[in-house]
Amino acid sequence: MRVLLVDDHEVQRVGTRQVLETTDDLVVIAETDGGAAAVALAGETQPDVALVDIRLPDRNGIDVAHELAVHHRATKVVIFSAYDDENLVRGAFEAGVAGYLLKTMPRKQLIDAIRAAGLGETVLDPAISARWDHVRMSQNVNTSSRLTLREKQIVSLVGEGLSNRAIGDHLDVSVRTVEGHINHIFAKLGLEARTELVRFALTDGRSAPHADND
């Protein structure tokens, strides 16, 4: 899996490269300290994943992520930041990122998250996802009332960054059942992509209890 690193701190880039390349299946093919260079490099190297910092000297990392998501759709963009501000997380997912990770994330979790993002999953740092239950419970959103209890549960788990298989294991149902529920959720909410569902979960959806009734 080919990774592009975008961070204005050289020590951070070197450390991240060393962590990722302790594996046999991840390789850093390019790195840069600027947003404009990141967009150019993505076009030249076609990475599977771009790991992008929020604070860059020439551009905001979220703006860079949006441009990459629009013009280089094969590249999964993951924000890698020291900031866990709720507005930044929302803004990143609205820009079309595949994930938001913190620089405090342990080495193994970072590697697993990059792999998952490259395979098309949405990834969210556990330290951030733990805070969203309170946010979702405090919101009053009419669109979520169209969902069944089980669908609300699945939206909540998607917002926590779980894959379909992990959701199935959590709810003790098959992956095919989870996929069916997600298709129904897409239809009810007018969504087309998992990143849109994550955005809904983080900004609009209510947290649901993890019960076992379908």
CA distance 181 to 202: 18
Closest by alpha carbon to 98, among 64, 50, 26? 50
CB within 8 A of 104, min separation 6: which ones?
82, 127
The residues that bridge with 5 in the sheet, in sequence order, are: 31, 51
Query: Helical H runs in 46-145?
Result: 61-71, 86-94, 107-118, 126-137
| CATH for the 130-203 domain, from 1.10.3720.10, 3.40.640.10, 1.10.10.10, 2.140.10.10 | 1.10.10.10
CA distance 181 to 122: 17
> What SS3 string covers 188-201?
HHCCCCHHHHHHHH
pLDDT means per 10 residues, the chain with 214 residues, are: 95 95 94 94 95 92 89 92 86 87 94 92 83 47 65 86 88 90 84 80 52 42
Would you call 183 exposed, middle or buried from its count of C-beta atoms within 10 A (0-12, 13-18, 19+)?
A: exposed
CATH topology for 2-124 is: Rossmann fold (3.40.50)
The confidence score (pLDDT) of residue 136 equals 46
The confidence score (pLDDT) of residue 86 equals 80
Q: Tell how strand 27-32 and strand 2-6 pair up.
A: parallel
Domain spans in the chain, listed from the N-terminal domain onward:
2-124, 130-203
